[in-house]
Structure 1
Amino acid sequence: METLDVTEVAAHGWLENVAAIAEALPGGLCVRAEPGLALLASGAPLASVNGVFDVRSAPGPGLIADLAARAAEQIDVPWCIQVRAEPDAGTAETAAAHGMTTVVRTPLMVRELTGRGTLDGRLPAGFALRQPGPEDSAVFATALAAGFEAPAQVMSLLGGAEILSLPCATAYLAGVGDEVVATGLALRAEGCVGIFNISVPPGRRRQGYGTAITSAILEAERERGARLAYLLSSEKGLSVYASLGFRTVEQWTRYTT
């Protein structure tokens, strides 16, 4: 695949994955304005998982403004405006009109999963991977809360039974003995897989567990048929994902208050 094709697949796969989460949750909202543009809300009090999301390669600001006005009326938790393309003046003005003056740039990273053999990861001693189902959602959500140092009630939504029941979703827990040392979530869409919720609790960081679980997820999802993996990386995660063969193909822009 050419880089442009890979980027398009990953960008639209991301939107489909986040829409699936929004549609699955009881307080969720999913309004599709046109291909690549949607108003999505999970109901969790995190701006990054609620708001107007635009993965069109050449958007116009009009529909974004319309959806932002609707978001202001219908979403009662923090929300954002996130665009894939370089934001124009109209988008920035819309964000400012809703009090969104904080701008964050987030890299979209991709990795092809073609071929056979190892995907560059080395598993630490005692490392064991399992795939918790909906019946294990409380355990998964607790592990997410520990890894992200976030409130349990937030992660009970984003790691709850509704998400783990989605046909496109597989949760992953890594353990050493009886201790959970890393989490991850894979969300599939049309031949690609999104890597979400990679976390390691504070006492287990810098020991290779984040790298190990990401590598193990890539192996498992390749076996399921995925040929492309993507993720939106934090600044701290860039070097980890680069070591596993991910490369940055775009910088997305998110506006928040």
Structure 2
Amino acid sequence: MKRINLLKAAVVIAVSMLSIVSTAMAAPTRPNDLADQTNASWLIATEQLLSALPRSVVERDGGSALLMSFQPQARMNGVFGISRQPDLDQMSKFAAQAQTYGVSSVIRVRGHGDPEVQSLAARYGMTQASQRAVSAVTQGAVKLPGTTVPGAVVKRVDGSYAQTFLDVTLAATGVPVEFARDLVSREVLNLPTASPYVVEVDGKAVAIALGIRGGDMVALYFLFERPEARGIGYNMMVTEQLLRDSFSHGVKGAFFASDPENDVLISTFGFRAVDTWTTYSKAAGL
């Protein structure tokens, strides 16, 4: 189920987490370009998110990071390449360390993965590879059409809405509660870098969105609607408000790990694919 996969990848971006077919080769090769900025900002935002969880491990070195959330989703634990060519020896050390924590984990790199990375992943039984595009938009390119839905109100909220976020997430994805509870907790929503929003109709929350700033960019997570509220425009409305507020408060760009069902969001707000993440994991059931 795509929404379940999105939630599993919410911290690893998709932003949740939310793929356009793209390749790393299609991304610009200039240093410090939008793809590089996006990956660097993703790491900062993810570190922020993990800091609010009951337990986490965060280490950086050699262009990669060891990120352990201790959540049941394997994609939220493991080794993540941040630079275009992270040091393979350091990734190998991080991968060995990840195995000591007793939770399922992954190895993720930018691009499509070379034979050396595939070999490293296979060493730990991670023989299943999947790809997800990362889309971004800058302040100068963002499109804000002024989306509204009659009777709907967008509210900027805080940690007191943790149960509301959990209820909408579970209704939208159908995942077990333990897959989402810590990710939309009071502590997460109250992060200084977090921007949580809900859409209400007649006082009932029908959609949610969470932005977490990482440096000069904001990561979009949990763009979820209740099943009965899909196709009306609530997700467009809440995403636009999140983007509008973020850019008005100094953010220079926004990004999320995109999913085919969010093509309309991408075309509406001016996002474009800037990079590809390849994730190596164990086959389902292993």
TM-score, normalised by the number of residues in structure 1: 0.91
C-alpha deviation, 1:239, in angstroms:
3.6
C-alpha deviation, 1:158, in angstroms:
0.3
Q: Structure 2: where are the runs of 5+ without partners? A: 1-26
Corresponding position: 1:23 with 2:51: yes
- Partners of 1:221 and 1:147 lie apart in 2 by 25
Query: Is residue 84–residue 252 contact of structure 1 (8 Å, CA) maintained in 2?
Result: yes
Specify the alignment match of 1:32 in structure 2: 60
Specify the alignment match of 1:196 in structure 2: 221
- Partners of 2:145 and 2:34 lie apart in 1 by 21
Aligned-residue sequence identity (percent) comes to 26
Question: How many residues in Structure 1 have an aligned counterpart in Structure 2?
Answer: 253
User: Once the two structures are superposed, what CA deviation does each residue of 1:176-200 show, in whole Å capped at 9, x if it has no partner?
Assistant: 1122221111011222111111111
Specify the alignment match of 1:251 in structure 2: 276
Specify the alignment match of 2:114 in structure 1: 88
- Partners of 1:170 and 1:57 lie apart in 2 by 29
Specify the alignment match of 1:206 in structure 2: 231
Assess, with a 3 A threshold, how the Cα gap between structure 1 residues 215 and 254 changes in structure 2: closer, same or farther: same
Query: Is residue 37–residue 53 contact of structure 1 (8 Å, CA) maintained in 2?
Result: yes
After TM superposition, the structure 1 = structure 2 runs for residues 20-99 of structure 1, keeping only pairs within 5 Å, are: 20-34=48-62, 36-74=63-101, 76-99=102-125
Corresponding position: 1:109 with 2:140: no
SS at match of 1:71: helix
C-alpha deviation, 1:77, in angstroms:
3.0
- Partners of 2:166 and 2:139 lie apart in 1 by 28
- Partners of 2:165 and 2:157 lie apart in 1 by 7
Q: Structure 1: where are the runs of 5+ without partners? A: none
- Structure 2 residue identity aligned to 1:103: A
Specify the alignment match of 1:145 in structure 2: 170
- What RMSD over aligned residues (CA atoms) do the two structures have, in Å? 2.0
- Partners of 1:191 and 1:222 lie apart in 2 by 10
C-alpha deviation, 1:20, in angstroms:
1.6
C-alpha deviation, 1:46, in angstroms:
1.1
C-alpha deviation, 1:120, in angstroms:
2.4
User: Once the two structures are superposed, what CA deviation does each residue of 1:209-253 show, in whole Å capped at 9, x if it has no partner?
Assistant: 222221121111112211211111123223432222100111111
Specify the alignment match of 1:11 in structure 2: 39
- Partners of 1:7 and 1:168 lie apart in 2 by 21
- Partners of 1:96 and 1:142 lie apart in 2 by 37
Query: Is residue 142–residue 152 contact of structure 1 (8 Å, CA) maintained in 2?
Result: no
- Partners of 1:22 and 1:65 lie apart in 2 by 22
- Partners of 1:16 and 1:114 lie apart in 2 by 22
TM-score, normalised by the number of residues in structure 2: 0.82
SS at match of 2:95: helix
- Partners of 2:71 and 2:157 lie apart in 1 by 21
Q: 1:159 aligns with which of 170, 184, 187?
A: 184
